[in-house]
Amino acid sequence: MGLHVAPTGPECPPIIEFRNVEKRYGPITVLDQLTFSVKPGEHLALIGPSGSGKTTILRILMTLESVTGGEVIVNGVTLNREHKNGSDVPASEAHLRKMRADFGMVFQHFNLFPHMTALQNVALAPVLTGLLSKAEAKERALQLLEKVGLADKAEQYPSRLSGGQKQRVAIARALALQPKILLLDEITSALDPELVEEVLNVISNLRDETDMTMLLVTHEMGFAKDFADRVLFFERGKIVEEGPPTEIFQSPHHERTKSFLRKVIAAGHRI
Ligand code: ADP
Ligand code: MG
């Protein structure tokens, strides 16, 4: 297991806090007064049926989605609201951009820019944000591609890469701005089974070799068991049950959790 042990105890303030967060689309409530927190360096697995709100949670943190109620706090700073001229107002684009800097996200469908090489995909954000010069960004991109085992593919366009290679480029790209928190949304779901392991190996290495906080949405329960310090089981925008992976996977308390895990196993996933 990992070299990094998630800090515990009351002395350690959370890096992420959801306080009574509500997300509605018209009459549909997607997140229902959701409250939870994540400690710095913690590795969290988010599991639950399709539509339970897992992607929405990651998209809210990535500032791709707003909330309709409650507060999201990152590193002690409210993400979705700010103080301006003495009053509490919805966050401005400038505030959201600042908050976004702590996060990197990897999506199910890679979302690489097809007209850019692997290297250009990884080097883009540090140049666009003015963080690095072109030469520095190129050097960092090469290091990151090496880290994900793709140094030899730097000059390839995505169309020439396998799904597993594309996803590893996407991971390198998510790391380019040196995020404190990495968000991973079903990153192996679109891959052929034989390509899943190379991607999960990269995630295992990041887990063991960095102190990033990581939130992983997955149906790979076997992997979640090794990866996670804590598992949250969601249903209809609420946490039904949470605990260490041994407890959630081996002796879940709630009937809903049990029946979900039975379905996942029936669908051919290992636990
Ligand atoms: P999960 O990732 O757990 O499958 P999501 O967070 O993607 O769940 O979605 C939760 C719910 O929100 C789903 O019922 C989905 O249909 C709904 N939803 C997501 N985005 C929108 C949208 N733009 N408009 C309306 N409903 C949406
Ligand atoms: Mg989803």
State the CATH number of the domain containing residue 269.
3.40.50.300
Residue 203 lies in a domain: no
Number of domains in the chain: 1
Residue 85 lies in a domain: yes
Residue 234 lies in a domain: yes
Residue 163 lies in a domain: no
Which residue's C-alpha comes closest to atom 26 of ligand 1?
Answer: 25
What pLDDT score does 6 carry? 53
Which residue's C-alpha comes closest to atom 13 of ligand 1?
Answer: 51
102-114 burial, b for 16+ CB within 10 Å, e for fewer? Answer: bbbbbbbebebee
What does pLDDT average to in each consecutive run of 10 residues of the chain (271 residues)?
52 93 97 98 97 98 97 97 91 95 95 97 96 97 97 97 97 97 97 94 97 96 96 97 96 95 83 68
Residue 125 lies in a domain: no
Ligand 1 close to Cβ of residue 51 (< 6 A): yes
Ligand 1 close to Cβ of residue 179 (< 6 A): no
224: containing domain: 1-102+184-190+212-271
Residue 164 lies in a domain: no
What pLDDT score does 4 carry? 53
What pLDDT score does 2 carry? 38
Q: Is-contact 21 35, C-beta < 8 A?
A: yes
Residue 232 lies in a domain: yes
Ligand 1 close to Cβ of residue 50 (< 6 A): yes
Question: How far are the Cα atoms of 63, 77, 141, 154, 171 from residue 146, in angstroms, in the given order?
Answer: 29, 34, 8, 9, 12
Residue 128 lies in a domain: no
